[in-house]
């Protein structure tokens, strides 16, 4: 097995969506003085690599903590959307089954530390989102800050059918180069079990 980490490291100076509060990661215990090291974190749920649940966009939607743990594992499919429109044509000839996890590679994660990352990211088209729902996909992830913009119609299409959303993925290009000819991998995407609308998530690709 090979494993590729698709998660941005959580740091206090990481960029955030415009209008969100920046996170803090502060050392509060020091080995030299206290005999141990300790850190304190303060963050919104939509910082760095994170997962959205239905409650994020739906008044009575489920919280992440309400989903069974098997929701966060599945066969992976990498969709190469670099310099392409993210529409349903990208899903043609893909053997996607119910419960699978689809990751969308745009290459935009390379701009994660730049201002334009949150200004010029590509969006998912409605026909793509509807096809994902039709196929019974469990989770959709992307290397951008969001699948759409206000009024967040794509969020609502996906989350309205319990398709969870992962934003701010990293290293999908590395995954693409490592997959080889058979292209088969599994995704492990375990969010922190917060009773909330979203949570930080560690996303790992397990290459078979």
pLDDT at residue 180, rounded to an integer: 74
Domain for residue 98, yes or no?
Answer: yes
pLDDT at residue 1, rounded to an integer: 87
95: left (phi > 0), else alpha (psi -120 to 50), else beta? beta
What Cα–Cα distance (Å) separates residue 101 from each residue in 28, 79, 197?
38, 11, 20
Low-confidence ranges of the chain (pLDDT < 50): none
- The total domain count for the chain is 1
pLDDT at residue 161, rounded to an integer: 98
Domain for residue 147, yes or no?
Answer: yes
HSE toward the beta carbon, residue 206, CA cutoff 13 A = 10
Peptide bond into 173 cis (omega under 30): no
Kindly report, residue by residue over 62-117, the tens digit of the pLDDT.
999 999 999 999 999 999 999 999 999 999 999 999 999 999 999 999 999 998 99
pLDDT at residue 189, rounded to an integer: 98
For residue 197, give the nearest of 47, 71, 53 by alpha carbon: 53
Domain for residue 12, yes or no?
Answer: no
For residue 103, give the nearest of 60, 65, 68, 74 by alpha carbon: 74
Domain for residue 20, yes or no?
Answer: no
Domain for residue 164, yes or no?
Answer: yes
Domain ranges, residue 129? 2-7+45-207
Longest dimension (CA), the chain: 60
pTM over 0.95: yes
Domain for residue 112, yes or no?
Answer: yes
pLDDT at residue 181, rounded to an integer: 65
Domain for residue 29, yes or no?
Answer: no
Domain for residue 22, yes or no?
Answer: no
CATH of the domain at 144: 3.50.30.50
């Amino acid at each position: 097995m090979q494993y590729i980490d698709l998660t941005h490291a959580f740091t206090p100076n990481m960029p955030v969506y415009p209008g969100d509060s920046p996170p803090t990661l502060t050392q509060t215990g020091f080995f030299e003085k206290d005999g141990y090291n300790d850190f304190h974190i303060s963050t919104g749920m939509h910082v760095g690599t994170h997962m959205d649940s239905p409650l994020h966009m739906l008044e009575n939607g489920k919280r992440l903590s309400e989903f069974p743990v098997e929701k966060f594992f599945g066969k992976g499919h990498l969709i190469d959307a670099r310099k392409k429109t993210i529409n349903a044509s990208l899903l043609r000839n893909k053997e996607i089954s119910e419960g699978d996890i689809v990751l969308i590679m745009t290459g935009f994660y390379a701009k994660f530390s730049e201002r334009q990352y949150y200004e010029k990211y590509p969006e998912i088209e409605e026909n793509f989102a509807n096809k994902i729902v039709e196929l019974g996909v469990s989770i959709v992830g992307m290397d951008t800050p969001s699948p759409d913009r206000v009024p967040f119609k794509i969020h609502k299409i996906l989350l309205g059918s319990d398709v969870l959303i992962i934003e701010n993925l990293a290293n999908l290009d590395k995954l693409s180069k490592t997959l080889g000819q058979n292209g088969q991998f599994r995704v492990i995407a375990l969010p922190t079990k917060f009773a909330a609308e979203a949570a930080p998530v560690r996303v790992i690709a397990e290459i078979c």
